[in-house]
Structure 1
Amino acid sequence: MSGTSPSLSPLARLVPRDLFVVERAGVEPVGAADRRGRAGSLFTLWFSSNVQFATLTSGILGTAVFGLGFAQAIAAIALGSLIGSAAIGVLSGYGPRFGVAQLVQSRGPFGYYGNVLPAFLVFFKACAWFSVESVLGAFTIQTLAGIGFAPAFAITVVAQILLALIGYQLIHRFQRAMAVLLAVVFLAVSWYGLTDGNLAAGFDAHKAGALGTSGAFIVTTAVQAARTMSFSSYASDYSRYLPRHTSGRAVFAAAGGGALLASVWIGGLGAAIGTQTMVGTPADLVDKVLPAGLGTVALIALWLSNTATACIDCYSGAMAALLLDIPMRRWQSVLGVGAIGTVAGWIAGRGDYYDNFESFLFLLGYWVGPWLGVMIVYLTVIARGRTAPELFYDKTRRVRPGLIAWIAGVAVSIPFMSQSMFTGPVAHAIPGLGDITAAIGFLGGALACWTLFRWSPDSVGPRAAADVAAERN
């Protein structure tokens, strides 16, 4: 009929024409005309991102290394996952409101130039995670294809970088498909992991050592919280294209719920496996836990999941790099993160994955905790309804009280640090505390932020017009 649009073919409906078009947007605000999508997309993204080998590993640590019984480990994993997932949910809600990436919002409390340090740390964290995930992906390909480390590593990093290079829309679509695949595969994996595990296992004092029951519980909680919470610095990167009117509660429930479900499920599965055996690489999952056929399917799913998670680190690390005011486009920044992570992964790929995994997770929490405390207090209490996106690009707001609050949060947490490289005086005197550094840093940063901004209330900025209009309606 004249004047009507031709109907789309099934393939065209399944694969949109612009799906593989490289995203051009960088750290500038997303315009209203480009806002689309629903909060539900965040559930599949954060679910898929947390169904990964690192989540399984963090659960295994609770029973196989720290000596908790299965029920104790599940409680610690659930608590740690709840803390980290709540952080993802809260910060995701500000993506639709401001239409900018998470580290752009960090300029609010830190200032335009004061935010350079957090941005660099997020960039470094993203490169580090990319390298860890590249090594895990290479180990998985080696097991599946029986090839050497070099070609397996190359296949993995190229896939990870390509997803991040194309950008936001493809990442969301890929994660949506992965959510279905991973749920099906890991239901089957869970059957073997749970039935073979010693679910009645109690606390193992020999494994826990000086930690004791309380210390082992706190450390397991901290590991799980640090792993999940590390995603919070990326949260708004994947919600900023949602329409401004998207319900904040829906965003919180979708983003936080997806991360929580996956973290408790896969972390709990790891705890069950850890009651019987130690799984150090993806290959061990096949050799020690799963039958050959299911093991192969699980490894394929794990590789795809690992690739999806690594592309998130690469994508958000590139966004953080753009905030360092280095003159480059988003795609160039993606290649930079990928290159650094690739080199680091190649060097680390010859070592033992478990040797540094625990320390790496804690080190992430040491600075992310105080940053998170500053961000949540600033966004939810100090600047509630009084911050417009334009303020994040104002270079006259050079350094703001949030930077001092963050440094204070890190400083007060130092005595509680408990690592092989450094043990603070409080942690040394009371080993049963475990490692509560991230919690102390969060509380210290939050309290310092509230106090400092109370002294300089005029520095927050004018009420955002959109928030005023929303209140009137």
Structure 2
Amino acid sequence: MPQPVVERRSIDVVPDAERHGTAFSQFTLWLGANLQITTVVTGALAVVFGGDVIWSVVGLLVGNLLGGAVMALHSAQGPRLGLPQMISSRAQFGVRGAAVPLALVVVMYVGFFASGSVLAGQAVGKLTHLGAVPGIMLFALITAVTAAVGYRVIHVLGRVASVVGALSFVYLGIRLLDRIDVSHVLHEQHFALPMFLLAVSLSASWQLAFGPYVADYSRYLPRNTSPRSTFCWTLAGTALGAQWSMTFGVLVAATAGTAFVDDQVGYVVSLGGTGVAASVLYFVIALGKLTINVLNTYGGFMAVVTGVSGFRGQRTLGSRGRSLYVGGIMVLGTALALLGRNSFLDSFADFLLFLLAFLTPWSAINLVDYYLVSRERYDLAALTDPEGRYGAWRPGALIVYTVGLLAQLPFLATSFYTGPLVGPLGGADISWLVGLAVPAALYGVVGTRRARQLPPLPPAAPGGPVVPTAPTPAGTTTAID
């Protein structure tokens, strides 16, 4: 039976009868999501703030691989649980306690929506000759409609964007190499540890920011999809796409000077030519930003519903409610885009690095609990019951999260706050490493002790997971193994 194009499900479990696709879909989605202008800007920041080409590229690669591996571990949870990413946080923080990291994640979604809309709005404004402000508003409306349709159209968009983006970046790369003296750029090497670690942090933060919603786009895969396959295809797509775009950004920033800093979209398009070529590139930039902004909007909608439902007991959501949530995210993100469009580059760098401090403790706690403490077994029914196995609030996890956040502050370096240990480290920001290691170690102790106090989960069905014997209606949950 063919599935409807417009998605019916929100935070409820996806039953086996509605599962479809292969793990390769994660490669095309995350490749397309990373071959876009904001990723280019992220790579360029490594040079804008003082790094050289060679060591910036190496640092960005290290961050993409490390952060991408953490992100891909979250992706592998999707087929197993059949749930959006953030609802699994209830197993660590409690059904209502999960609202704490959820609130910060929603801020992330709105921030990325706003920053993406600034660049996409420039492209849409040029393409339609309407100007930047109408371009931002038109782009936001298209984003909201696409996100409201849901999962299937998102993956179609990812496949299209991956092909279009790859062809466009090959073309732009050739045009850029024709303009610059490559040997001169590559020979200007000066390793500086703070700049190297900044590059690592920029790309790692980019990848880790996908963690809170990556499983949203793998949860419809068949339950028997190999976790290793999901992990590898996700990592390959996101690391390749990001490194490709960021390397291009490094070369552009190292050779363009203020021309790129003053007008990121305009300079990139100018590489491709004028007339029809320019129009095509404006469309490509808008398409790439549409892909990632739809992910931000869809993920934001899932996060808000997850947070609200923890207090209201809501398990399903109608099309009207879905549209209202998506519309709210669109309006807020668009307002921020319009307010901050004239100081985009500086504010975006600070946003990325500061955001990382809030995401890494959550990521560490979620992964340690799923893979080491719970060993990939959750009581899905209890994820919606404040009186159930996971309770309403889990103070231990919330304390670990807070400690993980505070532990990063001495190592954090942004324009509005610099920790006391940044100077002795030569200005290097290693806060994200501390934010992963400290809460992972602490939650390993706290989570294991808590797990020993709980009754064991029901045994798995012979030969496979515990699954419903009849089609699962929206909102029904079950324990799995």
Answer yes or no: same fold by TM over 0.5: yes
| Alignment match, 1:462 | 456
In structure 2, the CA distance between the partners of 1:115 and 1:197, relative to structure 1 (3 Å rule), is: farther
Query: Which string of whole-angstrom CA distances, capped at 9 and with x for unpartnered residues, describes residues 276-327 of structure 1?
Result: 014232112133x332254432221111010111010000000000122266
- Are 1:29 and 2:20 matched, yes or no? no
Mapped to 2, the partners of 1:268 and 1:430 lie a distance apart of 26
Letter in 1 for 2:415: S
Structure 2, gaps ≥5 residues long: 467-480
In structure 2, the CA distance between the partners of 1:194 and 1:63, relative to structure 1 (3 Å rule), is: farther
| Alignment match, 1:390 | 381
SS of the aligned residue for 1:246 comes to coil
Contact 2:3 2:18 in 1 (8 A): no
| Alignment match, 1:445 | 439
- Are 1:111 and 2:94 matched, yes or no? yes
Mapped to 1, the partners of 2:3 and 2:422 lie a distance apart of 56
- Are 1:49 and 2:41 matched, yes or no? no
| Alignment match, 2:295 | 312
Q: Find 1:258's aligned residue among 237, 257, 260.
A: 237
Single out whichever of 247-256 and 149-158 deviates more from structure 2: 149-158
- Are 1:340 and 2:332 matched, yes or no? yes
User: Deviation of residue 142 (structure 1)?
Assistant: 2.2
| Alignment match, 1:248 | 227
- Are 1:267 and 2:246 matched, yes or no? yes
Letter in 1 for 2:328: G
SS of the aligned residue for 2:413 comes to coil
Mapped to 1, the partners of 2:462 and 2:54 lie a distance apart of 48
User: Deviation of residue 465 (structure 1)?
Assistant: 4.5
| Alignment match, 2:135 | 152
| Alignment match, 2:407 | 412
| Alignment match, 1:208 | none
Mapped to 1, the partners of 2:376 and 2:255 lie a distance apart of 52
- Are 1:191 and 2:191 matched, yes or no? no
Q: Find 1:381's aligned residue among 372, 382, 385.
A: 372
SS of the aligned residue for 1:427 comes to coil
Mapped to 1, the partners of 2:358 and 2:212 lie a distance apart of 11
| Alignment match, 1:431 | 426
* Normalised TM-score (structure 1): 0.89
Contact 2:13 2:82 in 1 (8 A): yes
Contact 1:369 1:441 in 2 (8 A): yes
Structure 1, gaps ≥5 residues long: 6-15, 206-211
- State, as a whole percentage, how many aligned pairs show the same letter: 26
In structure 2, the CA distance between the partners of 1:239 and 1:465, relative to structure 1 (3 Å rule), is: farther
Mapped to 2, the partners of 1:82 and 1:418 lie a distance apart of 22
In structure 2, the CA distance between the partners of 1:222 and 1:393, relative to structure 1 (3 Å rule), is: same
User: Deviation of residue 204 (structure 1)?
Assistant: 7.3
User: Deviation of residue 155 (structure 1)?
Assistant: 1.5
| Alignment match, 1:8 | none
SS of the aligned residue for 2:422 comes to helix
Query: Which string of whole-angstrom CA distances, capped at 9 and with x for unpartnered residues, describes residues 65-108 of structure 1?
Result: 3222x221211111111122112211111111111000001111
User: Deviation of residue 468 (structure 1)?
Assistant: 7.0
Letter in 2 for 1:413: Q
Contact 1:387 1:461 in 2 (8 A): no
Mapped to 2, the partners of 1:97 and 1:379 lie a distance apart of 11
User: Deviation of residue 457 (structure 1)?
Assistant: 2.7
In structure 2, the CA distance between the partners of 1:32 and 1:146, relative to structure 1 (3 Å rule), is: same
Mapped to 2, the partners of 1:345 and 1:362 lie a distance apart of 19
In structure 2, the CA distance between the partners of 1:464 and 1:74, relative to structure 1 (3 Å rule), is: farther
Contact 1:56 1:270 in 2 (8 A): yes
In structure 2, the CA distance between the partners of 1:239 and 1:93, relative to structure 1 (3 Å rule), is: same
User: Deviation of residue 192 (structure 1)?
Assistant: 1.9
Mapped to 2, the partners of 1:337 and 1:217 lie a distance apart of 35
SS of the aligned residue for 2:204 comes to helix
| Alignment match, 2:353 | 362
Mapped to 2, the partners of 1:301 and 1:459 lie a distance apart of 54
Alignment of 1:154-233 (within 5 A): 154-200=137-183, 201=185, 202=187, 213-233=192-212
